[in-house]
């Protein structure tokens, strides 16, 4: 394996030259003293008392590099709004369980092929890879997701021991005066422009849901306004139910009542609606008056409208999450599901690019001998091809091949998602019956037919004499023997026509391997039939 004390110079994703040592790999960046304050950071929950003006301020500060409030508000939205949570779960969970592979570079050498197989084994043994993919999908909402890599040494190999997801509020964007890219995530180290992420230390995924700067990239900024308006409607609906859900209670006290008596009556009026009971002094009254007419429909309409907007934002449609019973047809639902499939494929391609850059490439550089330059690095790809209908292709392909279509086998196997069998790998096959077993089965089947025919003949009036029956049996035997004998008689005829001398003909006849199995079966069947006929005649006293 390659020397793990890397003193040679490498080039990272930004073209920056750097060196990697064992000490850097064995320590995580966030464990350093200058970043210890991040461990004690707690969210301020900006969703409390959220107003349009407050939300606009959160969005504006994020554009200026302060991502804390925006990330914390996104977390609150996912926790407080069950609809946002469920729709995001559908999109994020759809990324799990998809097969992947390590693809070598173009025109790969034998060493590069072998290293790709090694990398596939290393990643396949990582039990935390699926958790990492799920954590990376958090960037769909927030725009970015960072997981710190904890490296460990196993023999001559450097392998990831764990991936620690870090809260998005730990990161910031540098100001425009720093001369750095506005899309470069940096750790908040209490400096003006933050600290750069350590090479080989992070899986830093930026998810492009729309074009623009990173601070405006996530779905959060699209979902924030429907979330706010829905919250207003939910709050108003709760007040409506509190006011109009219970009857109006009026207390009447007699003239001359004192303050203590009035207070007693007021307490009874306020509590009797929920407690369904109470006491008041004699002479006082409580009347239950029907509340003014009101409707919940406007609030429900607003909530439904915002939830549909949320569904379309996250999944590209509404019929994969909820149906209104009016426009929800099966065909339209299938179209919406295809849109969601396109989103899944796009998400996986972006995640594959990040995994190739931040995980596969470091593993390749640290552990593989064939590494020369990052441009020749293998890449991780998800298998996004859906298996076609096997039955349709099984019927269509043979017909297309028969009329002359030259169809590559690899294309058909890709379409049907059937992998190419490796050398000496057990393969499925159609069960084959030996020639002897097949002949015996055929003979048994034909014998049964003959027995049935004899029985039917015995039950008919005896209008045919024995000589006629014998002639019919001989003629039937001849009809069945002629095709069997014709096969090898043609072979003998060909040898006779092509022989130059008698000696040559004798030699070729001696070497000729004639197949007489079919003729043997016919003779066996005739003998069995004759024996059965004889037994029948004896048993009948004929």
The pLDDT value recorded for residue 264 is: 75
The pLDDT value recorded for residue 466 is: 56
DSSP code at position 291: P
Nearest to 312 by CA among 55, 52, 91: 91
For residues 133 and 146, what is the distance between their CA atoms, to the nearest angstrom? Answer: 11
The pLDDT value recorded for residue 321 is: 55
Nearest to 345 by CA among 74, 94, 58, 57: 94
248 DSSP β-pair partners? 289
Run means of pLDDT, 10 residues per run, the chain, 542 residues: 45 54 78 83 88 93 90 93 93 91 91 93 93 95 94 90 93 82 89 89 92 88 92 80 64 73 74 58 60 68 90 80 53 56 91 95 90 88 78 80 83 77 74 52 54 53 54 62 61 70 69 60 63 60 56
For residues 302 and 80, what is the distance between their CA atoms, to the nearest angstrom? Answer: 18
Q: Both tokens of residue 324?
A: 């209104």
Number of neighbouring beta carbons within 10 Å of residue 300: 12
14, 16, 21, 23: CA torsion to nearest 10 = -70
The pLDDT value recorded for residue 2 is: 44
17, 149, 98, 109: CA torsion to nearest 10 = 40
For residues 441 and 521, what is the distance between their CA atoms, to the nearest angstrom? Answer: 11
For residues 156 and 454, what is the distance between their CA atoms, to the nearest angstrom? Answer: 82
Phi and psi, residue 154, nearest 5°: -125, 95
Phi and psi, residue 524, nearest 5°: -60, -45
DSSP code at position 425: -
Residues 6+ apart with CB under 8 A from 398: none
Continuous H helices in 329-377: 330-355, 361-367
Continuous H helices in 183-255: 220-244
Residues 6+ apart with CB under 8 A from 273: 246, 247, 249
The pLDDT value recorded for residue 221 is: 92
Residues 6+ apart with CB under 8 A from 68: 44, 169, 172
For residues 176 and 65, what is the distance between their CA atoms, to the nearest angstrom? Answer: 9
Global pTM value: 0.65
User: In angstroms, how far is the first alpha carbon of the chain from the final one?
Assistant: 93
**Segments of 420-502 assigned E as strands:** none
The pLDDT value recorded for residue 7 is: 45
């Amino acid at each position: 394996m390659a020397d793990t004390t890397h003193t040679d110079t490498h080039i990272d994703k930004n073209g920056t030259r750097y060196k990697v040592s064992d000490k850097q790999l064995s320590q995580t960046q966030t464990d350093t003293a200058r970043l210890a304050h991040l461990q004690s950071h707690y969210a301020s929950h900006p969703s409390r008392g959220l107003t349009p003006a407050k939300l606009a301020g959160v969005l504006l500060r994020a554009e200026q590099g302060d991502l804390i409030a925006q990330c914390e508000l996104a977390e609150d939205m996912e926790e407080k709004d069950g609809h946002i949570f469920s729709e995001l779960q559908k999109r994020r969970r759809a990324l799990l369980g998809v097969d992947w592979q390590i693809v070598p570079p173009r025109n790969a050498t034998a060493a590069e092929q072998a290293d790709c197989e090694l990398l596939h084994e290393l990643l396949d043994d990582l039990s935390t890879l699926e958790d990492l993919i799920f954590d990376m999908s958090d960037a769909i909402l927030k725009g970015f997701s960072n997981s710190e890599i904890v490296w460990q040494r196993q023999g001559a190999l450097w392998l990831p021991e764990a991936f620690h997801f870090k809260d998005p509020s730990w990161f910031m964007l540098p100001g425009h005066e720093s001369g750095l890219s506005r899309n470069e995530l940096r750790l908040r180290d209490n400096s003006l422009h933050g600290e750069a992420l350590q090479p080989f230390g992070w899986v830093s995924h930026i998810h492009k849901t729309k074009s623009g700067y990173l601070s405006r990239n996530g779905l959060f900024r699209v979902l924030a306004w429907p979330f706010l308006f829905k919250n207003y409607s939910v709050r108003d609906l709760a007040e409506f139910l509190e006011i109009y859900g219970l009857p109006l209670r009026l207390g009447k006290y007699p003239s001359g009542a004192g303050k203590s008596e009035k207070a007693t009556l007021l307490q009874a009026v306020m509590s009797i609606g929920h407690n369904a009971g109470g006491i008041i002094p004699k002479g006082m009254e409580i009347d239950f008056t029907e509340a003014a007419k009101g409707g919940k429909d406007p609030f429900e309409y607003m909530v439904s409208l915002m939830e549909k907007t949320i569904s379309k934002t996250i999944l590209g449609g509404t019929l994969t999450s909820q149906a209104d019973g009016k426009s929800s047809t099966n065909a339209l639902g299938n179209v919406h599901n295809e849109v969601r499939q396109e989103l899944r494929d796009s998400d996986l391609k972006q995640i594959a690019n990040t995994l190739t850059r931040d995980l596969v490439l470091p593993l390749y550089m640290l552990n593989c001998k064939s590494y020369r330059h990052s441009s020749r690095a293998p890449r991780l790809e998800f298998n996004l091809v859906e298996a076609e209908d096997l039955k349709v292709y099984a019927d269509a392909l043979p017909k297309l091949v028969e009329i002359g279509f030259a169809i590559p086998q690899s294309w058909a196997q890709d379409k049907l998602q059937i992998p190419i069998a490796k050398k000496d790998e057990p393969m499925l096959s159609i069960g084959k019956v030996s020639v002897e077993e097949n002949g015996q089965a055929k003979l048994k089947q034909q014998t049964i037919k003959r027995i049935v025919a004899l029985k039917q003949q015995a039950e008919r009036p005896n209008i045919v004499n024995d000589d006629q029956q014998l002639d019919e049996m001989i003629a039937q035997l001849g009809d069945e023997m002629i095709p069997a004998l014709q096969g090898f008689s043609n072979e003998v005829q060909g040898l006779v026509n092509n022989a130059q001398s008698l000696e040559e003909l004798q030699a070729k006849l001696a070497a000729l391997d004639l197949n007489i199995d079919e003729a043997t079966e016919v003779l066996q069947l005739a003998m069995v039939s004759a024996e059965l006929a004889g037994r029948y005649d004896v048993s009948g006293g004929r």
